[in-house]
Chains A and B, each alone.
Chain A
Amino acid sequence: MTESLITAILIFTLASFTGFEIINKVPPTLHTPLMSGSNAISGICVIGAVLVAGAELDPSVSTVLGVVAIACAMVNVVGGFLVTDRMLQMFKKKES
């Protein structure tokens, strides 16, 4: 358990540094789409929600909690990616 915890902390730290490096280069023009796009990515906890919701054969308290979590995270994922696309679509170079 401790070993896997340390590996997890290691991964978290390295990913944070990666995040800082990539996002520092995003120009201010794109900060709003960056925010809604990264928001969609944070909806990744839908995976955890799926595992919790599917863990039991008969619906129980934890199943219900999991299903609500799936719905919330999916709003985040679908809404986030789509609205980001809607915004980015509007960023155009000069039309000829």
Chain B
Amino acid sequence: MTQQMTQLVDTLTAWAPSGIQISYLVAAACFILGLKKMGSPAMARQGNFIGAIGMLLAVLATLIDQHILSYSMIGIGLAIGSVVGVWLAKAVAMTDMPQMVGFLNGLGGLASTLVAVGEYWHSRSHDLPLSSAAVVSIAASILVGNITFTGSMVAFAKLQGIISGTPLRFAFQQQLNMVLLGAWAVGAGLLIANSGDLAGFAGINVISLLLGVLFVIPIGGGDMPVVISLLNSLSGIAAGATGFVVMNNVLIISGALVGASGLILTQIMCKAMNRSLPSVLFSGFGTDGGSTGQGAGDALNKTVRQVDPEECAMMLGYARSVVIVPGYGMAVAQAQHVVRELADTLERKGVEVRYAIHPVAGRMPGHMNVLLAEANVPYTQLCDMDDINPQFENTDVALVIGANDVVNPAARHDTKSPIYGMPILEVDRAKHTVVIKRGMSAGFSGVENELFYKEKTMMLFGSAKDAVNRLVNEVKQL
């Protein structure tokens, strides 16, 4: 009996490494399948679940690894992380999602660095030899991990309002970054030559932490969607680099997947703002003074047509189709619930209501869609820019709530405007355009909006929440 038992244990031990590798393969497949299912709103939740199963499998498989000698500390780490994770996921407000993602990116980066440092320390304290390939992997992992960590934390602080969102620049900023990168390369070189070089090791850590801070502080609050996407990509690459350190395929695969995903989102955001990635990273928006777009404003016919809620409600109530264009101002005012009530009331009167969503309407890619979904707006009513733009011509009323730069027609024709070339929602092509706004102030870019002076445009002054509330009451009385 005991002999049989030992035999069984022996067989299991012999098979464990293959079992772990196969579990990793299944986990990687789960991640790919999960991400693929993210392609449709109906399947996405299932996809996320499949991804979570893959993760659970990967973690469980790792726990049976024979190289693990002590479990108590691992248990503590897993427990603390899970509790904090659950609390964060439950507590965060949907408007704060950009900060949340920024913060999580940062933790991912920190974890990658710590693994690389821990691996280095382990080898060092046991006098195990480190090959140059391993040292390069460790150095790269520390570089990407630390930049992701401090960069994300600065982005988090900017979005949360802990530090100012205005770009912070100083002379020779670019040159300083170059010098630091050079110094990092020297440190990494020293480490490759002699893997025991502690000064070099400490040096590359400090330098990469500094680089992360310097990389994000010159970027303005308006460019945060790009930065968050880029840091998302970096957190993936950091995990991938850790995979090279511990030579683990599932880490490499997952890291590459996330890296690619973040890169695509970065590209999409840049395109939506009509900016190149280098210009976002190295030249802040509006840093060349407040004189932008003044020339164009003077030539405009400065008459503004005002509309009162009663008249506006009539236009909306008797329209065939209405397109609502929400901007971040609407979300800040927490007006999405009344906006949905307005849409529901209109639909009951037989009006077709849709929402037109600009890619940079929120503070991160797809943010506005989440905020509207939270207010129970069905996703079938949410239209992307490319789908809705050709349909504005057949729209009776375009209702702009708290959006500004993304509906400025100057982006189409005014070559002098700083937002020239940026893709916009073409609300001025609708039969009527109503803009709900507090006053006539300029948008985020500091550019005056010529839409407000157009013949077909009417202004409904007031805060988003109040104005829409009054519209709901008026429409109900029709």
Name A residues whose Cβ lies closer than 8 Å to a Cβ of B: 1-2, 4-5, 8, 11-13, 15-20, 22-63, 65-95
Decide if B58 is an interface residue (CB 8 Å cutoff): yes
Residues 226-251 (chain B) with a chain A CB within 8 angstroms: 228-229, 232, 235-236, 238-240, 242-251
Cβ distance B285 to chain A, nearest Cβ, rounded Å: 21
Question: In the complex, A29→B133 CA distance in Å?
Answer: 42
A45 adjacent to B238 (CB under 8 Å): yes
Q: What would be 24 A-B contacts, judged by CB atoms less than 8 Å apart? A: A15-B28, A16-B257, A16-B260, A19-B261, A29-B382, A34-B35, A35-B229, A35-B364, A36-B100, A37-B51, A40-B51, A43-B108, A45-B251, A47-B246, A54-B74, A61-B118, A66-B77, A67-B73, A69-B110, A70-B81, A74-B82, A80-B89, A81-B48, A85-B48
Interface string of B348-386 (1 = CB under 8 A from A): 000000000101001011110110011010111110100
| Cα A78 to Cα B105 with chains together (Å) | 13
Residues of B within 8 A of A44 (CB): 55, 58, 239, 250-251, 254-255
Given A47-B62, A72-B81, A87-B370, 10 further pairs, Cβ under 8 A: A2-B133, A15-B257, A18-B257, A23-B261, A28-B268, A33-B38, A41-B236, A41-B258, A73-B107, A78-B85
| Chain A residues within an 8 Å CB radius of B38 | 23, 26, 30, 33-34, 37
Cβ of B115 within 8 Å of any chain A Cβ, yes or no, is: yes
Q: Give chain A residues whose Cβ lies under 8 Å from the Cβ of B413.
A: none
Q: Is the CB of A32 within 8 A of B55?
A: no
Number of interface residues of B (CB under 8 A): 117
Q: Tell me the minimal C-beta distance from B251 to chain A in angstroms.
A: 6
Of A16, A39, A84, most B-chain CB atoms within 10 Å: A39
Instruction: Given A28-B359, A33-B44, A35-B232, verify A52-B122 contact (CB < 8 Å).
Output: yes
Residues in B whose Cβ lies below 8 Å from that of A95:
376, 378
Query: Are A82 and B73 within 8 A (Cβ)?
Result: no
CB-based contact A34/B366 at 8 Å? yes
Does the CB pair B68–A51 fall under 8 Å? Answer: yes
Total inter-chain residue pairs, C-beta < 8 Å: 405
Q: Chain A's interface: helix, strand, loop or mixed, by majority?
A: helix
A4 shortest CB reach to chain B, Å: 6
Give chain B residues whose Cβ lies under 8 Å from the Cβ of A31: 265, 268, 364-366, 369
- Report the bound CA distance from A42 to B258 in whole Å: 6
Q: Which residues of A contact B254 (CB under 8 A)?
A: 15, 41-42, 44
Are A32 and B97 closer than 8 Å at their CB atoms? yes
Q: How far is the CA of A6 from the CA of B337 in the complex (A)?
A: 54
Interface membership of B31, Cβ < 8 A = yes
Residues of A within 8 Å of B257, CB to CB, are 15-16, 18-19, 22, 38, 41
Task: Known contacts A41-B257, A45-B238, A56-B70; decide if A35 and B365 are in contact (CB<8 Å).
Answer: yes
B84, A42: Cβ atoms under 8 Å? no
A86 to chain B, nearest CB (A): 6
Cα-based distance from A2 to B131 in the complex (angstroms): 10
CB closest residue in chain A, given B145: A45
Alpha-carbon separation in the docked complex, A58 to B370 (Å): 47
- CB < 8 Å neighbour of B77 from A38, A67, A89: A67
Interface centre among B38, B63, B117, B245 (most CB of A within 10 A): B38
Which B residues form the contact surface with A (CB < 8 A)?
Answer: 28, 31-32, 34-36, 38-42, 44-45, 47-49, 51-52, 55, 58-59, 62-63, 65, 67-71, 73-74, 76-78, 80-82, 84-86, 88-90, 92, 94, 97, 100-101, 104-105, 107-108, 110-112, 114-115, 117-119, 121-122, 125, 131, 133-134, 228-229, 232, 235-236, 238-240, 242-265, 268, 357, 359, 362, 364-367, 369-370, 373-374, 376, 378-382, 384
A17 to B249, CA, bound (A): 16
Please name all residues of chain A whose beta carbon is closer than 8 Å to the beta carbon of B73 when the two chains form the complex: 53-54, 59, 63, 66-67
Instruction: List the A side residues contacting B48 at CB < 8 Å.
Output: 33, 37, 81, 84-85, 88
Smallest CB separation, A53 vs chain B (Å): 5
Select one of B89, B240, B264 contacting A83, CB under 8 A.
B89
**Which residues of B sit under 8 angstroms from A86, Cβ to Cβ?**
89-90
Option from B51, B55, B240 in Cβ contact (under 8 Å) with A12: B240
Residues of A near B376 (CB, < 8 A) are: 90, 92, 95
A-chain residues with CB within 8 Å of residue B134 when the two chains form the complex: 1
8 Å CB contact of A62 from B118, B246, B365, B380? B118
| Beta-carbon contact of A24 and B238 below 8 Å | no
Contacts of B262 in A (CB 8 A): 35, 38
How far is the CB of A83 from the nearest CB of chain B, in Å?
A: 4
A74/B384 in contact, CB under 8 A: no
B137 nearest CB across to chain A (Å): 8
The reply to whether B111 and A49 form a contact with Cβ atoms under 8 Å apart is: yes
Which residues from B are CB-within-8-Å of A90? Answer: 370, 373-374, 376
A89: nearest residue on chain B (CB-CB)?
A: B45
Chain B proximity of A3: nearest CB distance (Å)? 10
Q: Which residues does chain B contribute within 8 Å of A19, judged by CB atoms?
A: 35, 256-261
Q: CB < 8 Å: which of B133, B245, B359 contacts A1?
A: B133
A43 CA to B257 CA in the complex, in Å?
A: 12
Q: Known: A68-B114, A82-B90, A86-B89. Is A28-B245 also a contact (CB below 8 A)?
A: no
